[in-house]
Chains A and B, each alone.
Chain A
Amino acid sequence: SQTIHQWPATLVQPVGSPLSLECTVEGTSNPNLYWYRQAAGRGLQLLFYSVGIGQISSEVPQNLSASRPQDRQFILSSKKLLLSDSGFYLCAWTRGGVGNSPLHFGNGTRLTVT
């Protein structure tokens, strides 16, 4: 069966510090990978998605970036965090090339920028 791991679960970082959140998927190959952000009490905002190694599509221009160095690894980064980067970050995957495949989410990372 497939599983998705996302870490860390919680993170408190000062303004201006770097960020690295990691997500890995097991039990499948060539997944589509996604990073979402959820502000408190709000809906989901798609940040990045990837259909293959090195292929990243950005939905929202901001100081965040994403990379996919391996088939089942997706990393969210920032060089300098802003207060507005606080939120709940969710990694998700779906089967590549399967039109009706659902999204499967990790447990999320609660990021607080102080």
Chain B
Amino acid sequence: GNSVTQMEGPVTLSEEAFLTINCTYTATGYPSLFWYVQYPGEGLQLLLKATKADDKGSNKGFEATYRKETTSFHLEKGSVQVSDSAVYFCALSDPNTGNQFYFGTGTSLTVIP
């Protein structure tokens, strides 16, 4: 079956620190992979995506590379800001299962000045 596993939080970093949030997946087909961000009291926003192996998604300084050999899609940012404090969700969609999306449990990030 399909599933997404992401690192447990919460994560607390100082401003300008390097961020990595690990995400691994299990899929029966060739999934598309996504990272979403949720700010307090809001819905989820698409942060970046990758649709095939070795694709790199990037947005707002965040990056993630679709690694088929390690079934991973780790989120990275070189220098975090206080405004990056949010909950981050890794997700996949598998065309073999129709229109189903599978989400990780979310990782809470707090960046302190």
Question: Which of A100, A104, A108 sits near B42, CB closer than 8 Å?
Answer: A108
Chain A interface residue number, banded: 20 to 34
On chain B, the residues within 8 Å of A103 by CB distance are 34, 36, 44, 46, 91, 93, 101
Contact A44 B103 (CB under 8 A): yes
Asked if A102 is at the interface (CB within 8 A of a chain B CB), the reply is: yes
Cβ of B43 under 8 Å from chain A: yes
Q: Does A90 contact B (CB under 8 A)?
A: yes
Whole-angstrom CA separation of A92 from B104 in the bound complex = 17
Q: Which residues of B contact A86 (CB under 8 A)?
A: none
CB interface residues, B 9-43, toward A, < 8 Å: 32, 34, 36, 41-43
Task: Mark contacts of A17-41 with chain B using CB atoms, 8 A cut-off: 1 yes-contact digit, 0 otherwise.
Answer: 0000000000000001010000000
Per-residue A-contact encoding for B36-64, CB less than 8 Å = 1, 0 else: 10000111111001010000000000000
- Residues in chain A near residue B91, CB distance under 8 A: 103
A105 CA to B36 CA, complexed, in Å = 10
Report Cα–Cα, A23/B39, bound state, in Å: 20
A42/B105 contact (C-beta < 8 A), A49-B99, A94-B99, A100-B32 known: yes
B99 lies within 8 A of A51 (CB): yes
Do B89 and A43 touch across chains, with their CB atoms under 8 A apart?
A: yes
- Do A43 and B103 have beta carbons less than 8 Å apart? yes
Q: Can you list the 7 inter-chain pairs with the closest CB atoms, starting with the nearest?
A: A99-B95, A105-B43, A100-B32, A43-B105, A100-B51, A105-B44, A32-B99
Q: Which residues of A contact B (CB under 8 A)?
A: 6, 32, 34, 42-44, 46, 49, 51, 90, 92, 94, 96, 99-108, 110
